[in-house]
Chains A and B, each alone.
Chain A
């Protein structure tokens, strides 16, 4: 009984650690996307800018599309990889 409980907890922490790493990876990806489009496309002089839906292309891709991509990634990651675990150690402690 005791042993079973212990291994169950180790599993929960393993899941939590993996999810934290996913969070870190998402943030790094987000930053790279944001930075590359913003300063890659926005680095030239404003006369040469192209516009998408009226917005400067660098801004459209880094901030608008970047936001949509991140939202979709978060949805996919949560639905596919995140696991539901009980948060309380013992049920019936307080309901």
Chain B
């Protein structure tokens, strides 16, 4: 147990708590009817900087902050190249969803992605399929993130796994329940700043410890020349495979529910413009630094077998302990912010999309408030119990969750915005085809044609959306006219 590291981490957690409590004041002050907007969306008042930071914290899930540098350590520069596809995420998501999504979300009074789909397609089945896939996949993704967070605390403090998980769970739950979306967005901002500074400091210290970039390159080339090529240590990273990550972590992120909810939360188009610039610069900077750290760590600390340990070990090797604590707060921050936003999305799917839509539409405001806090707390406890002894299925589901959600939602969202002829049958079949083909490709034809598993299902769900929408055109003329009325109406 390293006292200085633990103290820095603790200070970080305390700061997070203070922000949660502070932003809960804005919840108390809101009028009754806008509680849902405030709790799940921060009252649509995010400015440019906070929007950019919360977007970045959401893209950079634990997998990239802990796992990414670990893979870069193993594969070399090829993996840093791959990670740079995320630069596109910084501008692509906000430009594509852009103003139209924000305007339509406001018009439908949408607080979640599902509200938006409901407003656009007017179909119970679209809503229920969407809610089902969000609850299942994000719940699994979340549980696996908790495992990661607890393991990080465990490795830093020497506490046992259960205690570490408990500390992690309590700190996450307290401020999500108290503060809602605004607290999550604010803490994302603190965490984004920590990641930005932390990766820069760590990169510089790593280069210094390795005796300069030239020296590190010479060591890498001497060990295995493949490490400095774009093809990975074993030469197994083909251009096709690496390029298909542009879909998985680059452009298809547009369909993830936790990302779209942010694209309806900003205050004005000016905030969006600022977020575009800040987001692109910061996400590229963090990705580049973080993965370079992984590669550069190799000559300094050779022979690390578990990839997830690269970041903690290199930080403690090249930095003074107190600084290592602050820098390691960065991956901790990444995990926490991902978990927080997932928790909010899942509880909004339960409370708003299922309960309020189909079980009790006339629930009173007090009831909705109680439900929101209650469901969030219960979900937290359920995840805690699952994470105590994670079932194998869970790990699989987590790996699966992001691609699955992308294949489900990307076309109903994007074509829903930009293709007027898209209708509920198209959306429903696109979701079903996306999910089903993703399961089939993942199970039976992994890396078909050398592509990542997510690519084909996204193409198939596009085809399904277009064909079914066109075939059912005559069925829905009536309802699409209604739709037009809503679009045109004020």
Q: Which residues of A are at the interface with B, using a C-beta cutoff of 8 A?
A: 2, 5-6, 9, 12-13, 15-17, 19-20, 22-24, 26-27, 30-31, 34-35, 38-39, 42-43, 45-47, 49, 51, 53-56, 58-59, 62-64, 66-67, 70-71, 74-75, 78, 82-90, 94
Contact = CB atoms under 8 A, between A and B. Distances in A.
Interface size class of B (residues with CB under 8 A): 35 or more
Contact of A75 (B88, B277, B284): B277
- The main secondary structure of chain B at its interface with chain A is helix
Given A19-B98, A82-B273, 11 more contacts: A12-B103, A20-B418, A24-B95, A38-B239, A39-B239, A46-B228, A55-B217, A59-B80, A75-B277, A85-B99, A87-B106
B210 to A, nearest CB: 11
B239 A35 contact: yes
Nearest to A10: B488
Contacts of A35: 239, 243
B284 A5 contact: no
B36 to A, nearest CB: 12
B177 interface: no
A94 B92 CA distance: 30
Interface in B66-84: 77, 80-81, 84
Given A84-B269, A84-B270, A85-B99, A67 B213 contact: no
Interface of B: 34, 37, 77, 80-81, 84-85, 87-88, 90-92, 94-96, 98-100, 102-103, 106-107, 212-214, 216-217, 221, 225-226, 228-231, 239, 243, 246, 250-251, 268-270, 273, 276-277, 280-281, 284-285, 288, 417-418, 488, 490
Contacts of B250: 27
A38 B231 CA distance: 10
B24 to A, nearest CB: 20
Contacts of B94: 23
Nearest to A83: B269
A27 B490 contact: no
A58 B98 contact: no
